[in-house]
Structure 1
Amino acid sequence: MAQTPQQRRANLKFQKEQEARMGKSEDQIKKRAKDAPKSPISPLWLVLLAFVVFGGLFFEVISRIFFR
């Protein structure tokens, strides 16, 4: 059975992670995992939320200035 492109990418990612672990103790591996906290919200959603909030605020200010 041939690998799909998605399986191939997953296997390459797993291989790179395993090679990065070679020769390191468990403490070093765990410390590295704790050092990089991940945001619960993706940057795309943050940009979209900022656009909605600040875009609405911007249009509200423009409408109050020009269309009293």
Structure 2
Amino acid sequence: MSGPATITGTTLTVRDIVIGASGCIDGDLGEQQQWVLEFLHRPIEQTFSNGTLTWKSGNDTLNFRSE
């Protein structure tokens, strides 16, 4: 999965997402991939606090923490 991305202020925008060949994807994995694609197609608001990067897209949120 890849595509060009831009950041304007605190908003991440991903365009023209392409997916490599993945063959038959099991139900759960296919649903997860679809969720990620939908998440990335919306503008993503980014914040960083206390070592955690947070992406918010619509009603969904992802948190990334360093180990």
When Rg is computed on C-alpha atoms for both structures, the one with the higher figure is: 1
More strand by share: 2
More helix by share: 1
Normalised by the shorter chain, which TM-score bucket? 0.3 to 0.5
Q: TM-score, normalised by structure 2?
A: 0.33
Q: TM-score, normalised by structure 1?
A: 0.32
Greater relative CO, 1 or 2 (CA 8 Å, sep 6+): 2
